Amino acid sequence: MKNKLNIKLIISAVLCAVLMTGCFQSDNVSEPKTTVVPEFTAETEIIEGRKNIYLIVKNLTSSYWNVVVDGVRDAGKELDCNIYSSGSTSELQWELQASLVDKAIAEGADAIILAPNDSVMLAPKVSEVYSSGVPIILVDTVVNTEDYTICYMTDNLRAGQDAAKEMINRLRESGISEEQEAYVAIQVGGISSQTINERLAGFCQYWTKNAPEKWKIIDEVKFNEGDADYAVVCAEQLLDKYTNINGVFGTNNGSTVGFARVIKDRERKDIAVVGFDYSDEMKELILDKDYNASTMLQKQYSMGQYAVQSALDALDGKKSDIKFVDTGVVTVNSSTISDSEIQEILSHN
Amino acid sequence: MKNYMDMQKTSLISEKKGFSYHRMIFTYLICCIVGLLIIVTVFNGLIEEHDKQLTNEICTLISEKMDTSIQYISTTVDEMSTLISYCDDNSFEESYNNLQKCIAESSFISIGLVDNNGKLYATEAERYEFEKWGLTDIAMNCKNVTISEPYRSSMTGQLVFTMFSQLEEDGKRKGAIFVTYPLDEIQNMANTDSLNDQTEIWIMDGYSDNIIRCSGSGFLIGSWSNFKIEKQKIKNIKEYEVWENSLRSGKYSSAVNYTTTDGIKYTQVFKRIDFMPGWNIVVRIPSLSLSNTMQLFRWANVAFAAVIIIATCFLLIFTHIRETAEKKIFENLSTFDPLTKILNRRAFEKISAKLFETENSPECSFIFFDVDYFKQVNDNYGHEVGDHILVKFADALNSVFGDSGLVSRFGGDEFVVLIRGGNKEAVTAMVEHFAEKVKEMRIECDNDFRLHFSAGMATCPQDTDNLPELMKCADNALYEVKEAGRNSWKWYSDK
């Protein structure tokens, strides 16, 4: 009886195995997304007869984008035009931005300032607006087409290179000689972000060409997918696993904050921190001379201001040979923080 | 006694099996499954090899296209520099102005000159770019055609690269010409309509792991990235690192298969771009898209093999059930008497011999029964009545002694009983009880007659200690009963 059972079990197992081979793959069924297109808010006094400029940002809830809105609003007031603003609440919502572009056109936008969430997917929409004769100015991120009026953004490849240059300087200043081995760990935010990818590429490019041969980038790059808490975990994991780390580089604000928190908590004054944006955590490290920290500060306020000027110039029929303007970054560390240029930029943050 | 006898009966029926049928089925299944696994493994290996070769071919095609494209651009720049070198232009200024006339009809973005002192003959935007990306140094040091790393152009916002070629006069270097092209010029070479959805094509800097995605689905096409991020998702990192080392060491080409943490299998191939030093074309294709048909074929084979195995198993099981049934019939025929359904002589002798083999002088009693005047009954009333008597006699024997020992038809009208235990009183009581049963037995025939029997009994070890002797003793006792007029029973030891 027992043996018969065994045979039944074996046969069942074989049958299951055969049947399961047909079940290995299943298509992911994505649920249809329904999103409500947000309204545009008037950022300036709306006066009849003035040009209407519509701003669409990546994330309405981010302090970074608030500074861009400030720049656009101030320029609008200064240059005498009506400014409206709106945007998505997540940097993944490129479809929502496309709908916002359509809405702006429908509401009678004379020009659009767009911070595109996706360089590839939004290219056709940008091209469509540009071809219709409405000036479209890009800020922060470029799209994969030449059909736009002008783009103001940080050249992130260059910014990454600047960060690598600063890291090499920081390590040298901390007394590590070219003959000594040194290790730098990297943490990145969302891996689908063109900005982050370009910063990482710039950092690696500069490092490969300019860092002493014995100074290495640790192969394990941690990505936190924009999760602030996980950025701290990633930083802890890197510091625990690689005990000989001399420097850490965060490609975006979240990653940099993650590193800064762990470095401060563990009082690792021997580790150089280089990152992006001026968070409270980085400010604390930079102002404490015992720590070795630098951050790359973008000029998003200027991006907004330049964008409004360019929109009005385009509406006036002025043409420019330049389509892509690198607004650049400034390096903020304990030596440069008092510089007037940096103080001026920080005053908008 | 009963248990022992039952055991003996069972063992007699089930002996001669030789090997376990279930073990054979199990071994067969294991062999089939192992064989199947080997076939699938070999097949997978072949698919991987096939993927590598196919990706290699695709990569070769694309890299040849790219190389040809860069070579074409390179030749154009070289020819331009030769043309300017031999032109009668009086100054760089004049040459530069002449060059500007070409822009409208060409695919490049900008063109200009750099003299030996580093003076740049270019637009304001180009000057800005030269300063930003350190291009003047490349222009000053270039000999043959040299290519810059890709960078984002201020004039288009897209990735571009600049080519430099030195200008000569009377065999001496007098400066350099630069021509800036959109990266699209070579990037588009990687695009193919048929492979676009599945194939990822990058150009990759072998030193920094930086990549520019030329083709593929999703985001980041036409922009910088770094493979260090992708590397975090690779499971079999060691194999990948071998591939990576090949790329860094300047090898011409290499292929690798790997699986990512989200379970996607890729085949990845690089080929050096001869006209872009340090750069390689990398093609990455999900194995599934390459070998979809092959994989269907593989699973079809596995399914077919599984069906064959299952069918074979069913066939074996069916055959086994049939064989078992037939065997049971034959075993019954060789063990039981077909008329009375009790043990036949051969089976009885075998079981009782086994008892005497396993135990030395076992305590037991042996009884020989003989139906009195059976031959006359047979002659007078026919064989049917005779057979009926034998069946009823055997049934009565079985009902009295069946639970305590072996009951057998020894031949004709002779029956034997072997009972465990040598208590003569108990055995005598059983025989008496049997006699009562026989007495009550009614035989249906023309004349009503009474059936009776004679029995001879012997015990072991009192009478003898071996089976043949014991049987002989019981036979002698029976003989004496018969001589004394039948219809009685007697112990051998009762003289």
**Could you read off the pLDDT of B173-183 as tens digits, one per residue?**
889 999 999 88
In a domain, A13, yes or no: no
In this structure, of A135-144, A188-197, A289-298, the range with the lowest mean pLDDT score is: A188-197
Select from B459, B455, B456 the least CA-distant residue to B421.
Answer: B459
The C-alpha of A3 sits at a distance from chain B's nearest C-alpha, in angstroms, of 6
Structural tokens at position B111: 């063109």
State what percent of residues in chain A have pLDDT above 90.
75
What pLDDT band is residue A238 in, cutting at 50, 70 and 90? very high
Quick check: B225 and A325 CB within 8 A?
Answer: no
- More confident site: B423 or B294: B423
pLDDT at A313: 96
Are A117 and A58 contacting, i.e. CB atoms less than 8 angstroms apart? yes
The CATH superfamily holding the domain B87-186 is GAF domain (3.30.450.40)
Could you report the per-residue pLDDT of B330-388, keeping only the tens digit for each?
777 788 898 999 999 999 998 899 888 888 888 999 999 999 988 888 888 888 889 99
The C-alpha of A349 sits at a distance from chain B's nearest C-alpha, in angstroms, of 27
pLDDT at A333 over 80: yes
Structural tokens at position B311: 């069918």
Distance of alpha carbon B341 from alpha carbon B333, whole angstroms: 9
- Please say whether the dihedral angle defined by the alpha carbons of residues A317, A318, A323 and A325, taken in this order, is positive or negative: negative
pLDDT at A78: 95
Mutation choice for A interface testing from B132, B221, B228, B241 by most A CBs within 10 A:
B228
Query: Which domain CATH number covers A127?
Result: 3.40.50.2300
Distance of alpha carbon B130 from alpha carbon B122, whole angstroms: 10
Axis crossing angle, helix A123-131 with helix A94-106, rounded to the nearest 10 = 20
Kindly report the CA angle at A176 between A170 and A180, in degrees rounded to 5? 140
Domain that holds residue A184: 156-297+335-341
Select from A59, A110, A79 the least CA-distant residue to A300.
Answer: A59
Residue listed under structure tokens 């100074």: A215
In this structure, of A13-22, A227-236, B254-263, B474-483, the range with the lowest mean pLDDT score is: A13-22
pLDDT at B278: 83
pLDDT at A49 over 60: yes
Quick check: A219 and B228 CB within 8 A?
Answer: yes
With contacts defined as CB-CB under 8 Å, which chain B residues touch A18? Answer: 302-303, 306-307, 310
Verify that A109 and A216 share a domain, yes or no: no
Verify that A161 and A285 share a domain, yes or no: yes
A152 beta partners: A139, A325
Are B363 and B461 contacting, i.e. CB atoms less than 8 angstroms apart? yes
Are A71 and A305 contacting, i.e. CB atoms less than 8 angstroms apart? yes
Q: Residue B279: enclosing H or E segment and its boundaries?
A: strand B279-286
Structural tokens at position B465: 């200690």
Residue of A nearest to B310 (CA): A11
Are B197 and B290 contacting, i.e. CB atoms less than 8 angstroms apart? no
Quick check: A201 and B210 CB within 8 A?
Answer: yes
The mean pLDDT of B2-24, rounded to a whole number, is 57
In a domain, A58, yes or no: yes
Residue of B nearest to A219 (CA): B228
Verify that A292 and A305 share a domain, yes or no: no
Quick check: B22 and A192 CB within 8 A?
Answer: no
Nearest CB to B224; choose among A10, A201, A326: A201
Mean pLDDT over the full length of chain B = 84
Quick check: B26 and A22 CB within 8 A?
Answer: no
The mean pLDDT of B6-27, rounded to a whole number, is 62
Quick check: A197 and B157 CB within 8 A?
Answer: no
In a domain, A98, yes or no: yes
Distance of alpha carbon B167 from alpha carbon B144, whole angstroms: 10
Task: Tell me which DSSP letter residue A218 carries.
Answer: -
Mean pLDDT over the full length of chain A = 88
pLDDT at B74 over 70: yes
Verify that A145 and A242 share a domain, yes or no: no
* Domain B345-491 sits in CATH 3.30.70.270: yes
Verify that A147 and A193 share a domain, yes or no: no
pLDDT at A285: 96
With contacts defined as CB-CB under 8 Å, which chain A residues touch B306? Answer: 14-15, 17-18
Residue type, B120: L
Nearest CB to B156; choose among A120, A221, A323: A323
Alpha helix (H) residue ranges in chain A: 2-21, 63-79, 94-106, 123-131, 156-173, 194-210, 228-241, 253-265, 280-287, 300-315, 340-348
Are B250 and B272 contacting, i.e. CB atoms less than 8 angstroms apart? yes
Verify that A128 and A149 share a domain, yes or no: yes
* SS3 call for B83: helix
Axis crossing angle, helix B292-335 with helix B21-86, rounded to the nearest 10 = 170
The C-alpha of B22 sits at a distance from chain A's nearest C-alpha, in angstroms, of 6
In a domain, A47, yes or no: yes
Structural tokens at position B173: 């270097």
With contacts defined as CB-CB under 8 Å, which chain A residues touch B154? Answer: 322-326
Mutation choice for B interface testing from A151, A198, A213 by most B CBs within 10 A:
A198
Select from A265, A260, A263, A290 the least CA-distant residue to A277.
Answer: A260
Axis crossing angle, helix A63-79 with helix A340-348, rounded to the nearest 10 = 100
- The 10 Å Cβ neighbour count of residue A343 is 10
Quick check: A322 and B226 CB within 8 A?
Answer: no
Which segments of chain B belong to CATH 3.30.450.20? 190-292
Quick check: B22 and A7 CB within 8 A?
Answer: yes
Nearest CB to A3; choose among B22, B124, B153: B22
The C-alpha of B394 sits at a distance from chain A's nearest C-alpha, in angstroms, of 33
In a domain, A281, yes or no: yes
Distance of alpha carbon B214 from alpha carbon B220, whole angstroms: 9
State what percent of residues in chain B have pLDDT above 70.
91
Nearest CB to A7; choose among B25, B221, B226: B25
Select from B389, B390, B485 the least CA-distant residue to B444.
Answer: B389
pLDDT at B370: 94
Are B147 and B158 contacting, i.e. CB atoms less than 8 angstroms apart? no
Verify that A208 and A99 share a domain, yes or no: no
pLDDT at B334: 81
Could you report the per-residue pLDDT of B350-362, keeping only the tens digit for each?
889 988 888 888 8
In this structure, of B14-23, B44-53, B114-123, B473-482, the range with the lowest mean pLDDT score is: B14-23
pLDDT at A322 over 80: yes
Which segments of chain B belong to CATH 3.30.450.40? 87-186
Buried b (16+ CB within 10 A) or exposed e, B213-245: bbbbeebbbbbbbbbbbbbbebeeeeebeebbe
With contacts defined as CB-CB under 8 Å, which chain A residues touch B313? Answer: 7, 11
pLDDT at B199: 77
pLDDT at A36 over 90: no
Nearest CB to A204; choose among B218, B223, B226: B226
What pLDDT band is residue B19 in, cutting at 50, 70 and 90? low
Axis crossing angle, helix A194-210 with helix A156-173, rounded to the nearest 10 = 50
- More confident site: B275 or B232: B232
Phi, psi at residue B416, to the nearest 5°? -130, 155
In a domain, A262, yes or no: yes
With contacts defined as CB-CB under 8 Å, which chain B residues touch A209? Answer: 207-208
Could you report the per-residue pLDDT of A88-121, keeping only the tens digit for each?
988 778 999 999 999 999 999 999 999 998 888 8
- Structure pTM? 0.67
pLDDT at B6: 57
Verify that A273 and A306 share a domain, yes or no: no
Buried b (16+ CB within 10 A) or exposed e, B339-358: ebebbbeebbbebbeebbee
Mutation choice for B interface testing from A2, A4, A15, A21 by most B CBs within 10 A:
A21
Verify that A191 and A309 share a domain, yes or no: no
Are B289 and B194 contacting, i.e. CB atoms less than 8 angstroms apart? no
- The 10 Å Cβ neighbour count of residue A83 is 29
The C-alpha of B248 sits at a distance from chain A's nearest C-alpha, in angstroms, of 12
Could you tell me how far CA A315 lies from the centroid of its own chain? 30
What pLDDT band is residue B98 in, cutting at 50, 70 and 90? confident
The mean pLDDT of A160-179, rounded to a whole number, is 96
Task: Tell me which DSSP letter residue A323 carries.
Answer: -
- More confident site: A120 or A303: A303
Verify that A71 and A137 share a domain, yes or no: yes
Q: B190-292 sits in which CATH class?
A: alpha beta
Report how many domains make up chain A.
2
In a domain, A2, yes or no: no
Q: How many CB pairs under 8 A join A and B?
A: 144
